[in-house]
Structure 1
Amino acid sequence: MSSNVIPLSLQHLWRAWNIRGFMLLSLSLQLLLALTAPLRRRTSNKLVILLVWSAFILSDWAAIFAFGLISNAQRGENPVVDDNIMAFWSAFLLVHLGGTDSITAFSLEDNALWLRHLVGLAVQVAVFFYIFLNTLPGNILVLPTAFIFVAGVNKYAERTRALYLASLENLKKSIFQLSTSGPESDEPHPSGEDQVIAERFFRTFKGLVVDIMPSYTERSMSRDFFLGRPSNQTFKLISLELSLMYGVFYTKFLAVSSRWGMCTRTMAFCSSITALVLFSLADKGNFNRIDVGVSYTLLVGVILLDMDSAIIQLEPDWVNPAESNWGYCSSIQSFIFVLLGIVTAILEIPLCVCGVGPLPDKPWSETVGAFNLLDYCFKESQRTSEGGKLRRAWNSLFDFVTEKFGIKDLVDELRYKAQNNHESDLWDYIFDKLHDKAVPIDNPGKAKEVSEAKGELALQKPDLMELTHYVTDLEFDEEILTWHVATEICHQVDGVGNGSKKKFSKVLSDYMLYLLVMQQKMTSAIADIGQIRFRDSCSEVRALWKISKPKDVKELCEKILEETTSHEPAHEAPTAGKSVLHNAGQLAKILRQSNNKWEIMSTVWVEILSYTANHCRPDSHARLVCEGGELISFIWLLMAHFGIGPRFPKHRPVR
């Protein structure tokens, strides 16, 4: 005699609510995605991104699993839910698989899987017809089911088309086809509203993502326009361009912004409304009241999702509601924006409790990531060496497990990554430096020279030539680490100096190390062994900490300065064979002798940042716009608009 492990009460509950529960779960996940997916553009916080990722993964899984439950229930005896209702619900699953307008892809790689979604569309439509045909000829919900089916196929096909249009292969193909359509005409200088200007420049420079440079004519037009704009207006335009980039690669923007897309969207919305009317008029006396309630919930949910997509139109921060192609009344849009703001504020309450929110009401996070090598090593050394035996054993076990599971980098980022607020004076400083470099550029050779500089142009004065060795004689990742440690030493040991330049040097130094260590996909093309050098430098610092046991980072900096310069001449040139700490100590000693060291360091850091922006993988900028955005992406587009680049051909490349 065998006994069931699962109690009979739970079995009955599952049998009664499995289909109903998964239908409501699928709708809930769609509503959650519609509200939370836009948040990832405004924050790089891992908790928010994890929330969106979980909802994104579970949404497709819940819909497909519900399809399986319905098809399995039709083969059973005495199903809990009426077959006609189940066929009606299966059409909603196609709508859910079509997803919301606010997210079609979680990462850039998802767009390359458009063919898999096309196959999925065919398979799920076949499953729907299997379920639907089993209810004929006695199905009294044929018409509402058919209209929801039309809406579902439209939504699913819309998502597949959006993925196809946003794939990098299609983007490159479309640019090549444009280049063969004939010679370029001289376009007038952009004029009009900011969103119109941003859209025009985005169309011109979107090829940068797939490493296709704009033409010489387009470069000249862009240079003439942006060199005459102040920094704050330029920042706004670039912010709008990055918003467009987010819309193109991660939402249904391309699929619904065309006339054909608007027609299919209108047809889908009208189908949903018609289905609601027909279902309300149908004879529902033989249906369970709970199932009728679930059906109305699904209908209202689909209509709300369509209204949200149509009225907000994906990018409310750059689209002018008064000029919306949908033609809705601006007062209705204003009401929806206020309502969405209230819902978002409610969602941010648990985020604030977790230390995440409130999120900025801007198209990007407006923060600059920061990671400090010496602070990281000091805290890690304290964590693993101090405390009782039980605590040290626990820390060692935790580090071993995270290392084996490959999540140590993620844990370190959660622990030690800091955020500096993006301030306009830092942007103004970077803008002025790059503007001054862009003005005298009069040929492609000069543009390439400026774009290839990673600090040496800032040190061309006769009294600074000695410092050029710390740029030209070092690998790029070694240069970042050397100047980072030297900057931290000067910042900790020398308490006086120019306030703004000192702040800029510190912010950019920590930001560049954050990019090197925590944004490896971006910097791997120009700093291939940066992780190895970083770990070696950490081992050196920890060894020094064990010997000297400093009480804080300032004392650690003094020990580094003392240990690395006591036995060497002050002006010895750096070599690749020596450690980062040794070279950084030598560099810091030279810099401390200068009265304008903060001006020197801030200028060098701007060049290092601009070099990184221009030489990292182009598609990495498109990857980062869905994680709160990065300052380096703004620098990348600013340099492109200024014409600072390695190559700008006179014509588009022809396939």
Structure 2
Amino acid sequence: MRYKKSISVKEDDILKEIIFEQLKDKALKAGDSKIAKEIFSARGNWVLSQHLCPHHPEILASVSEEVEYDESLLLWHVATELCYFTDTTNSEGQTDPTFDEEAKRKREETKNKREICKILSEYMLYLLVMRPTMMSAVLGIGQIRFQDTCAEAKKFFPKGQSGTSFEIFNKLFGRSQSELEPRWREVCKALLEVDTVVKPIKVKGDRSKSLLFDACMLAEDLNELKVENRWTIMSEVWVELLSYAASHIRPNGHAQQLSKGGELITFVWLLMAHFGLGDQFRIEAGHARAKLIVDK
């Protein structure tokens, strides 16, 4: 619990707005049961199919049906961390006098989406690791993958080495984000500098379930996208990963959280119910109704 922190979601929060608008848009598109089923079962692949062309097969493969949900979640969590701490969105255009109001607005929007990716990434990992009972329907071997990924990160940064993640972890408690960010940036740059042309599983086999360097490859592919597109796509993928888990968690799991004040994921589930997104909420047929029309 040492690293747990809470973030307030305010009434006019951009996070709420993006979640609401994305689910509302999907509800409008879910005209028939086939499309509704596709949207309901999407966990990033619906968003990516709308935004990306076939020239980015590695990104599309990270959320394909062949990849388990917990694997996709961990891949995108690590990739988000790597993209977040090596991104230059905060500094771009700061001293450029040619930046007009529209450019400033777009930059601010990109920064907001970048922060949303970070928040949802950390939140979903928290649920995966700290709420395994609630997430059991989508958990798979997520705990093993998480432990193996942590173990590989520790091997990459040996204990005692100056400026390593171990030093950061040991000094994390009580430090602010602004104090730690330069150190995290060094760590993320070091990971992205590793030559990961060959898939890690071909080198080490499948005994280890670590996704560290698979996520590095995903982050490299995401970094090839334009910065505005990157954070727009990533924020929408995270909302889809969140809504997929929300709709697949058992209803009694959500109900138990309400007695403790509720989780964001539970409110997303209720919003999906309101929009009719989900197998248990769609009504394909009902009692016949007759409408009486009387001519004047």
- Structure 2-normalised TM-score? 0.73
Q: What one-letter code is carried by the residue in structure 2 that aligns with 1:444?
A: S
Of 631, 636, 640, the residue aligned with 2:269 is 636
Partner of 2:80: 487
Contact 1:469 1:573 in 2 (8 A): no
Q: Shift in Å at residue 622 of structure 1?
A: 0.8
1:125-144 equivalences under 5 Å are none
SS state at 1:478 partner: helix
Matched, 1:550 2:163: yes
Contact 2:33 2:284 in 1 (8 A): no
Q: Shift in Å at residue 513 of structure 1?
A: 0.4
Q: What one-letter code is carried by the residue in structure 1 that aligns with 2:189?
A: E
SS state at 1:539 partner: helix
Q: Shift in Å at residue 600 of structure 1?
A: 1.3
Of 576, 580, 591, the residue aligned with 2:222 is 591
Task: Give the distance between the partners of 2:48 and 2:200, measured in 1 at CA.
Answer: 15
Contact 1:447 1:643 in 2 (8 A): no
Partner of 1:426: 15
Distance 1:567 1:534, change over 3 A: closer
Contact 2:242 2:265 in 1 (8 A): yes
Q: Shift in Å at residue 554 of structure 1?
A: 2.0
Q: Shift in Å at residue 445 of structure 1?
A: 2.3
Partner of 1:533: 145
Distance 1:567 1:438, change over 3 A: closer
Contact 1:469 1:574 in 2 (8 A): no
Partner of 1:417: 4
1:388-467 equivalences under 5 Å are 413=1, 415-423=2-10, 424-460=13-49, 461-462=52-53, 465-466=56-57, 467=59
**1:516-555: CA deviations, max 9, x gaps?**
0111111111113111111111111111121754353222
Contact 1:459 1:465 in 2 (8 A): no
- Structure 1-normalised TM-score? 0.34
Task: Give the distance between the partners of 2:5 and 2:79, measured in 1 at CA.
Answer: 20
Q: What one-letter code is carried by the residue in structure 2 that aligns with 1:589?
A: E
Aligned residues: 235
Contact 1:516 1:523 in 2 (8 A): yes
Task: Give the distance between the partners of 1:574 and 1:591, measured in 2 at CA.
Answer: 21
SS state at 2:62 partner: helix
SS state at 1:474 partner: coil
Task: Give the distance between the partners of 1:555 and 1:549, measured in 2 at CA.
Answer: 11
Contact 1:613 1:635 in 2 (8 A): yes
Q: Shift in Å at residue 599 of structure 1?
A: 0.9
Contact 1:470 1:574 in 2 (8 A): no
SS state at 1:495 partner: coil
Task: Structure 2: state its 5+ residue gaps.
Answer: 91-109, 165-182, 287-296
Contact 2:82 2:188 in 1 (8 A): yes
Task: Give the distance between the partners of 2:214 and 2:250, measured in 1 at CA.
Answer: 28
Matched, 1:562 2:196: no
SS state at 2:279 partner: coil
Contact 2:69 2:139 in 1 (8 A): yes
Of structures 1 and 2, the larger Rg is shown by 1
Identity %: 41
1:4-23 equivalences under 5 Å are none
Of 133, 136, 160, the residue aligned with 1:521 is 133
Q: What one-letter code is carried by the residue in structure 1 that aligns with 2:256?
A: R
Task: Give the distance between the partners of 1:492 and 1:440, measured in 2 at CA.
Answer: 35
Q: What one-letter code is carried by the residue in structure 1 that aligns with 2:18?
A: Y
